Structure 1
Amino acid sequence: MKIKDFMIKDVISVTKETTIKQLLEILSTNSIGGVPVVDKDNKLIGMISDGDVIRYLQPKSRTVYDMFPLVVVSEKEELTHRLSYSMNNLVGEIMRKKNIHNVQPNDNIDEALSIFSRYRFKKIPVINKDNQVVGVLSRGDLIHYITTKLIKDFRV
């Protein structure tokens, strides 16, 4: 079975100039957890996920100054401050650029299964020979495909 048989062809992607706010709106509107980051020629340059944003927004390590209760700020206020500070920052600042694993449309499904299991990614970009994004695979879509297509045909 080939990747092209079940990849998502209607790819939602962003550029490195997309703001964090725009990214969050795209993820939320489309109920997805991550997208490929592409250049003007639709070539893969990175990946960004909701987990990357969460790690970006997480509180930094406490400092010695935090021991002195000069100003009491709630966690909600801290998050609001971080969000307002970060919303106009660009995807290019936090996207993953290294260790981006991908597959090609004619690769066997085993290649995707290996990547999903070894690296625990949620999405894998599908690229053509020119490094252009032509699809994506998600773990959920793969499980759905296995459940609806393969298990139905498997009779004990």
Structure 2
Amino acid sequence: MLVKELMSQDVIAIDPEITMEEAQRLMNVNSIGRLVVVEDEKVIGIITDGDLVQQNDLNISIKELMTHEVISVFEDDTVQEVARILSDNGIGGVPVLNKEEQLVGIVTAEDIVSGYVKQEEGKAKLSPESSAIYLAMTRSREYENYWLDKIRGYNYKVAITQTGANAENLPIKLRESMTVAAIARGVIKENFKEKMAVSNAVKDAYTQLNLVNPGLGGGFKVSIVRGRGRVAVAVFGKFGHALVDGPEQLAVGMSVI
């Protein structure tokens, strides 16, 4: 799958002279977490909601706080290549350029996750990754049982649990609860190698979530599916704190086993 198949084409580009207050309003109105800064039809910077949180003076211009060394990708890059770029650089989204290096879109970690589902459409057999996503996103016991039966029908091993914690303990809680559930449901054996595979898959998913909402705890539904020589973990739920609850987030991690 190529980036141009799942990127957002309605990217909001801004002038470097607009104020932080205007940038914040644009993010709030459009429910987005980043804006691309363009000058003379060239991408010169990027600003995120995380930058706004750290800035008290909202009257300063974007150019004083934006990230100047912008990491971008091309529309014909593969989803796998972009996922690696996001993970390696600890970022949640990047501008997408065409061959003429003109801005044509933006792709985020959320788009990458949805790409896993889209890539499976029309295929006769579910992958462990898409199976874990569908199961984690179930909202009723009836629908959950439907997906459990469907996934087991492919001879995959599966488990599901729920967990939540503050920011400091969340990655540990996710790993511990998923490992316990996986052992209890026979997804893995209680040995170092298989427990490490689960730990790596959870870490992969948590890294994606933390890129979008760094420093926040939350509550999540977590699923694990084992099949085709790997384990896939999907994490679905909300980040938030005492004052505000964030939007629902979804991430998937994988590890060879």
| TM category, shorter | 0.7 to 0.9
Superposition pairs of residues 39-78 of structure 1, within 5 angstroms: 39-41=39-41, 43-55=42-54, 57=55
Indicate the RMSD between aligned Cα atoms, in angstroms.
1.5
Q: CA deviation at 1:87?
A: 2.1
1:119 maps to what in 2?
Answer: 89
Q: 1:105 aligns with which of 75, 84, 101?
A: 75
Instruction: Find the counterpart in structure 2 of residue 64 from structure 1.
Output: none
Q: 1: distance between equivalents of 2:101 and 2:59?
A: 28
Q: Which residue of 2 aligns with 1:139?
A: 109
Name 1:32's counterpart in structure 2: 32
Q: For the Cα contact (< 8 Å) 2:79–2:112, is it kept in 1?
A: no
Q: Name whichever structure is richer in strand by fraction.
A: 2
Q: What CA deviation, in whole Å up to 9, does each residue of 1:126-147 have, x standing for no partner?
A: 0123332111001112212323
Distance in 2 between residues matched to 1:129 and 1:92, nearest whole Å = 26
Question: After the TM superposition, which segments of 4 or more aligned residues of structure 1 sit over 4 Å from their partners?
Answer: none
Aligned residues: 125
Q: Does 1:150 align with 2:150?
A: no
Q: Does 1:89 find its partner at 2:88?
A: no
Post-superposition Cα deviations, 1:62-87, rounded to whole Å, max 9, x if no partner, equal xxxxxxxxxxxxxxxxxxxx4xxx22
Q: Deviations over 1:22-58 (max 9, x none)?
A: 00000000000001111132x1101100111222x2x
How many Å separate the matches in 1 of 2:104 and 2:96?
6
User: Contact 1:37 / 1:46 at 8 angstroms: preserved in 2?
Assistant: yes
1:83-132 C-alpha deviation (Å, 9 max, x unpaired): xxx2221000000002x211111111121111111112111100123332
Question: Which structure 1 segments of 5+ residues have no match?
Answer: 58-81
**C-alpha distance in structure 1 between counterparts of 2:90 and 2:82, whole Å:** 11
TM-score, normalization by structure 2: 0.46
Q: Which has the higher contact order (CA 8 A, sep 6+)?
A: 1
Contact 1:103–1:111 at 8 Å: present in 2 too?
Answer: no
Q: Secondary structure at the match of 2:106?
A: strand
SS at match of 1:7: coil
Could you say what secondary structure the match of 2:68 adopts?
coil
Assess, with a 3 A threshold, how the Cα gap between structure 1 residues 129 and 151 changes in structure 2: closer, same or farther: closer
